[in-house]
Amino acid sequence: MLWSKYYIPTLKEDPAEAEIISHKLLLRAGMIRKLTSGIYIYLPLGWKALQKISDIIRQEMDRFGAIEISMPAVQPGDLWKESGRWEVYGKELLRFKDRHGRDYCFGPTHEEVITDLVRGEIKSYRQLPVNLYQIQTKFRDEIRPRFGLMRGREFIMKDAYSFDRDDQGANKSYEDMYAAYMSIFKRLGLKFRAVEADSGPIGGSFSHEFMVLADTGEDTIAVCTKCDFAANLEKAEVKYAEKEGSPAECPALEKVSTPGKHSVEEVADFLGVPKEKIVKTLLYEADGRPVAVLVRGDRELNEVKLKNLLGALDLRLASFDQVQKWSNAPVGFAGPVGLNVEAIYADQELMFDTDYVVGANEADAHYLHFHLQRDAQIEGFFDLRQITESDPCPRCGGPIELTKGIEVGHIFKLGTKYSEALKATFLDENGKEKPMIMGCYGIGVSRVLAACIEQNHDENGIIFPPPIAPYDALLLALNPKDSTVKEKANEIYEALSAQGIDCLFDDRDERPGVKFKDADLIGLPLQIIVGAKGVKKGVVEIKIRHSGERIEVGLDEIIPRFKEVQKKVWAHYGV
Ligand code: 9G3
């Protein structure tokens, strides 16, 4: 492709509205342009990269027996009313009416649509299992879309849905998709981890997320350095070696004055006790019910674990007024003794000790010598806190590391949540009607492009892993006015193209400096630089973008040397 005949509107400066590097570089490399908040146009280079990502996804999904279809983006509201989700989702679900006044939504996902299709087509166990997928535009009306393709309102998703006759079959489908995803992200040349994840309101019992590792990732994952355990922090379980016996006795509760000491640090300081001898009493409203959670002073509550324990759809921290009402004290003095909430839950770690400091449910006062089993009525001990790097791996006891990731895939065991709601049933061998067992599997295709750049860039621009790069190589003719350079560069372009190498040819009448900057900015894995001096010496230069390494090759050996260097670069990405 000739740059002079193409459309790559590169920018010299970071656009003001871009906050993260992938957003800055996608705009500057002329790969996307914003139409409106959270909605982007994919320009030629961006679109080509998305096609490369999609092609690899298709190949692996097909290899694992999934079948590609395409479903409408516009969905009838009636299906969402039937599944019960029309009321569940708020403003994030873009709703509208047609000319007849009927309700529709712009599809944020397609469980209802695919289940409606299958319930009309599949009646017998002989037709199962089936796995259907699409690569398609979704819309989720995020309240504050930011970060370019990382969190757009309109985005491209590959979403697949499997239907099985029983749990065994559903597990097989899930394992196949897990394997397909491992292969997809490996083939994309990305550093990633599959992590155990929380299933959230989608329901279903089990899920894994696929995380591209990047310091700017929003998700924190716990990774074992010894075994293959990895979990989203939201899900990562904390495990204790069984400790014998019940905690020692301790003196009776004793109220002490702690004027204006609200935080754990202030109380620990004032009373001269370590933070782990303080118990925090956190107040929440769970689906409207007042509840309290006790965690050790030096720990963080994991709200997702609490939400799942309570089965709450809506969980929010109590407001100042609620704290005052439920504890008769301002924030910072709430405690488990004489607290008027519906239930108190304790993190399991508190089981192993006693003689804690807790709020006295009175302004400027705390209790010493709190003995959990003696002085409070709790619902029980549960795994409710965030895992930390000093906790052992819950699988093998090895050391845990916390690292950042960008979620680019999520696979779920759905069970019969949708097949029961929409009566998608089949007849088994004995003519018995049963609901199909479902799974669903998503990849954020446009988000993969952003995550790839978050993981692969430097101060000069993007560094594309070859499988995602819009082109295999960039050919630069430094002074196209020089007829020998122009002639030589054209010859090389023809020779590379004849070898099936997808090459972008920068034939613009621009100064070399502009070409070098644009070359590093758009980040194709290899550059072939043709300059007057080199041609006179009978050489051109091959530059490897990820390492910056430059290799001088004779004009008569360009193709074999290029292929050799290209192989080295692919090997660097393990593809
Ligand atoms: C909605 C809106 C936003 C949503 C959903 C529904 C997320 C919703 C979860 C999923 C689960 C899987 C199939 C592919 C993989 C992910 N955000 N989810 O269901 F109405 Cl507004 O989409 N779906």
Give me the pLDDT at residue 204, please. 53
3-state secondary structure of 233: coil
pLDDT digits (tens, 9 = 90+) for 383-423: 999 999 999 999 999 999 999 999 999 999 999 999 999 99
Determine which residue's CA is closest to atom 11 belonging to ligand 1.
202
**Is 267 a pocket residue for ligand 1 (Cβ < 6 Å)?**
no
The backbone torsions φ and ψ at residue 167, rounded to the nearest 5 degrees and listed phi first, read -60, -35
Q: How far is the CA of 115 from the centre of ligand 1 (A)?
A: 14
One-letter identity of residue 78 = D
**Is 410 a pocket residue for ligand 1 (Cβ < 6 Å)?**
yes
Residue from 511, 434, 271 nearest 368 by CA: 271
47: left (phi over 0), alpha (psi -120 to 50) or beta: alpha
3-state helix, strand, coil in the chain (%, to 5): 30, 30, 40
CA dihedral over 470, 474, 480, 484, signed as positive or negative: negative
Return the bridge partners of 400, or none.
224
The backbone torsions φ and ψ at residue 399, rounded to the nearest 5 degrees and listed phi first, read -75, 140
| Domain 247-382 indexed as CATH 3.40.50.12240 | no
Determine which residue's CA is closest to atom 17 belonging to ligand 1.
108
Separation CA 448–CA 54 (nearest Å): 10
Q: Which of 154, 202, 205, 408 to mutate to test the pocket of ligand 1 (most atoms within 8 A of CB)?
A: 202
**Within the chain, which residue ranges are assigned CATH 3.30.930.10?**
19-237+401-454
Q: Encoding tokens for residue 421?
A: 């709601």
Distances (CA, A) of 80 to 77, 93, 140, 336: 5, 11, 15, 42
Give me the pLDDT at residue 242, please. 72
3-state secondary structure of 33: strand
Separation CA 181–CA 448 (nearest Å): 13
| Domain 471-572 indexed as CATH 3.40.50.800 | yes
Do 3 and 508 touch, CB atoms closer than 8 A? Answer: yes
Give me the pLDDT at residue 227, please. 93
**Is 108 a pocket residue for ligand 1 (Cβ < 6 Å)?**
yes
Q: How far is the CA of 75 from the centre of ligand 1 (A)?
A: 14
CA 391 to chain centre: 24
Alpha helices by DSSP H, 188-230: none
Q: Encoding tokens for residue 304?
A: 């997702």
Q: Which residues fall within 8 angstroms of residue 26, CB to CB, at 6 or more apart?
A: 32, 46, 148, 149, 449, 450, 453
Separation CA 505–CA 136 (nearest Å): 31
Angle among Cα 396, 402, 403 to the nearest 5 degrees reads 125
Give me the pLDDT at residue 249, please. 85
Residue from 138, 65, 115, 41 nearest 440 by CA: 115
**Is 94 a pocket residue for ligand 1 (Cβ < 6 Å)?**
no
Q: How far is the CA of 89 from the centre of ligand 1 (A)?
A: 10
Give me the pLDDT at residue 202, please. 57
**Is 92 a pocket residue for ligand 1 (Cβ < 6 Å)?**
yes
Q: How far is the CA of 202 from the centre of ligand 1 (A)?
A: 7
Separation CA 55–CA 68 (nearest Å): 12
**Is 440 a pocket residue for ligand 1 (Cβ < 6 Å)?**
yes
Q: Encoding tokens for residue 499?
A: 């070898």
Separation CA 32–CA 459 (nearest Å): 20
CA dihedral over 92, 93, 97, 103, signed as positive or negative: negative
**Is 32 a pocket residue for ligand 1 (Cβ < 6 Å)?**
no
In the chain, which stretches have pLDDT less than 50? none
CA dihedral over 112, 113, 118, 119, signed as positive or negative: positive
Do 473 and 562 touch, CB atoms closer than 8 A? Answer: yes
Separation CA 109–CA 71 (nearest Å): 10
Is the peptide bond preceding residue 129 cis, with omega within 30 degrees of 0?
yes
Separation CA 17–CA 12 (nearest Å): 15
Q: Which residues fall within 8 angstroms of residue 499, CB to CB, at 6 or more apart?
A: 559, 563
**Is 557 a pocket residue for ligand 1 (Cβ < 6 Å)?**
no
Do 80 and 421 touch, CB atoms closer than 8 A? Answer: no
Give me the pLDDT at residue 149, please. 97
Greatest C-alpha distance within the chain: 96
> Which atom of ligand 1 is nearest the CA belonging to 80?
20
CA 513 to chain centre: 38
CA dihedral over 37, 143, 76, 415, signed as positive or negative: positive
**Is 365 a pocket residue for ligand 1 (Cβ < 6 Å)?**
no
Determine which residue's CA is closest to atom 15 belonging to ligand 1.
442
Do 414 and 207 touch, CB atoms closer than 8 A? Answer: no
CATH class of the structural domain 19-237+401-454: alpha beta
**Is 202 a pocket residue for ligand 1 (Cβ < 6 Å)?**
yes
Residue with tokens 């504050």: 144
> Which atom of ligand 1 is nearest the CA belonging to 141?
21
**Within the chain, which residue ranges are assigned CATH 3.90.960.10?**
247-382
Q: Encoding tokens for residue 489?
A: 């560069």
Residue from 126, 132, 165 nearest 62 by CA: 132
**Within the chain, which residue ranges are assigned CATH 3.40.50.800?**
471-572
